[in-house]
Amino acid sequence: MQEEFIPFRSIGLCFSGGGYRATFFSLGVVSYLEKIHYQNKPLLQNVEAISTVSGGTLFGVAYTKAAQEEGFEFKNFFQNMYNSFEPTKDKLLETAIAKLNDDAVWKANPHKKRSLINAFALTYADMDIYKGDFSLYEKPPTDHLKHVCFNTTDFSFGLAFRFQNTGMFGNKPLNNTQVNNLKNEIALADIVASSSCFPLGFEPLNFPDDYIKNQQSTDYKSLKSLDRFSNGVGIMDGGIADNQGIGSMMKISRQRKSRKHDLDLMIINDVGSFKMHPWQPEPKSVNEGTTIKGGLAKIMSYFTVKPMYWILLVIGILLMTLNSMEIFKGQAWTALYILGGIITGIGILLTFFGVVAGILKGIVTNRIASLFNKNVPEPLVDDVLSFKKLSLGLVQRMLTERISSTVLMVNDVFLKQVRRLNYRLLYSDRDLRNKIITSTVYELNGEGTAYNDVFKYNKNITPAPSKLLKNVGLTASETPTTLWWDGKDIAKGRMDTLIACGQFTTCYKLIDYILKLKKSSATQDLDFTEIDILLEALLEDWKEFNKNPMFHVDALKT
């Protein structure tokens, strides 16, 4: 055991991605740490570091901003946060779409590209809980929060890009004097948008273009003159590289150790689901209709001058000519002139468009052929051209299966594998023994996994999780990964259940952690007097949570 290890002296909190599910589970975690006291003060006061990702950043930015304000009171913050996203009043998506369609918004923000994620960023900027810029963290006025890190991913080097107040801002390839000079101009709302814009749902923000309003400054112009920043750097979802913010927290702990001592406890709050919706193949049978070649030929056949166009033209001219010769009952009929003129006009228009379309077809065909010859390696030409013999139904099935499996790989398989690797890295670090709590949203919902029939509860914690508590946990854990509430979420009261789940799961995990500390041979020399007082208070709350899982949520709302 390290000599300086003192449980609960300095705590780091990680808040994972996962949309609103992450945001409000995080709010529950922190609200319980504020409730439970250790050494005559809220345990939350011992939190010195926060690392957040995606939906966790929606909470993390709001909390770390409020915690540094003069006269900060947690209950006021809780109510402001709650009211900002209260399901029946939440207009985040609706407002962002309206901004995207409003020309005036983009005229007022000419530095930003017109995109959905920038519309979200501007919507966040209108919310009081996200007003301000990164300069708020330059000199933290309290001892409570010394380190904040909001995680994103860069799309130039594929590395974590960290908006942090200690350690390197950004990452090694994307950090320089100009970036450090500009970082305090970055709006908190843009950081929230950057961290929470998940792939396929949003596009990346462009750094520094979308972030810096004053693009006439020397630092901005100097940065843009560099090759790596000349076209901008794509920045988006921190969950791509590390959806739990573990890597950043480990860096913070090592940074502290080099100066004084590392963190004494890391609480990893994770709402990432272990479940996947299995990939479903398309039906084996396909429509054996026309081939690609046949379909293209049919389409291209419309882009030419057809005999029918000439026939219409001849009929129209002939009708007017014969009418002028008074062939029909010895006189010229006005109606026949009109009819003949219409038919002639249609024939002329169709012929004209056919000629133009034929010319354009030739240009486009030559262009496509040129691109094909330039970009398809010669050995693959025959293989690619062989696809033209396939039926459209078969090609549709092939494309659908490729797209659906790729989406599943990016959004589930890849992220879950990275998640496993990050946890393996965390738990294999000997310096962190007895210093980790992993708290998951689904841990107390009573459901099994693909790996276990049920989660193994600590039998030394009594009472066992009640049916009511597990039902609340299940409702919370089934919340979809979105940045909006739908009718089902409102009907199930998911916002409140997520907050409650964060609270009672934190209570349970702290009890579990203390009991394991007391059994560990590495901690036998610790003075457990204050820890036992904390344990007693935790056990009382655990009993109350089992009777009424919502009791502390209700207390904070009133």
CB-count burial class (<10 Å; 0-12, 13-18, 19+) for 271: buried
DSSP 3-state of 48: strand
Whole-prediction pTM value? 0.80
Among residues 69, 50, 71, 47, which one has the least CA distance to residue 59?
50
489-497: long-range pairs with CB below 8 Å, 24+: 489/20, 489/87, 490/87, 490/88, 494/20, 494/87, 495/20, 495/24, 495/82, 495/85, 495/86, 495/87, 496/550, 496/553, 497/472, 497/473, 497/550
Distance, in Å, from the CA atom of 176 to the CA atom of 229, rounded to the nearest integer, reads 11
Look at the block and give the residue holding tokens 């193994």.
Answer: 456
Question: How many angstroms separate the CA atoms of 481 and 203, rounded?
Answer: 17
Strand bridging mode 37-38 / 11-15 = unpaired
Tens digit of each residue's pLDDT, the chain (558 residues): 345 678 899 999 999 999 999 999 999 999 999 999 999 999 999 999 999 999 999 999 999 999 988 889 999 999 999 999 999 888 898 999 999 999 999 999 999 999 999 999 999 999 999 999 999 988 755 668 899 999 999 999 999 999 999 989 999 999 999 999 999 999 999 999 999 988 777 899 999 999 999 999 999 999 999 999 999 999 998 778 888 899 999 999 888 766 677 899 999 999 986 666 777 776 766 555 555 455 555 555 655 667 776 687 788 788 777 777 777 777 776 777 678 778 887 877 777 777 776 677 667 666 666 665 665 566 545 544 555 565 656 666 666 776 777 766 666 777 777 778 888 888 888 888 889 999 999 999 988 765 555 567 899 999 999 999 999 999 999 999 888 899 999 999 999 999 999 999 999 999 999 999 998 877 778 889 999 999 999 999 999 999 999 999 999 998
Q: Which residue has the tokens 């305090």?
A: 184
- Residues facing 12 on adjacent strands: 49, 266
Listed residue (470, 480, 492, 447) closest to 21, CA to CA: 480
User: Look-up: residue for tokens 């207390």?
Assistant: 555
Sign of CA dihedral 374, 380, 385, 391: negative
Report yes or no: 344 and 317 within 8 Å, Cβ to Cβ.
yes
Q: Two tokens at 421? A: 């690797």
Residue 141: asked if its preceding bond is cis (omega within 30°), the reply is no
User: What beta strand segments (E) does 227-304 contain?
Assistant: 233-237, 265-270
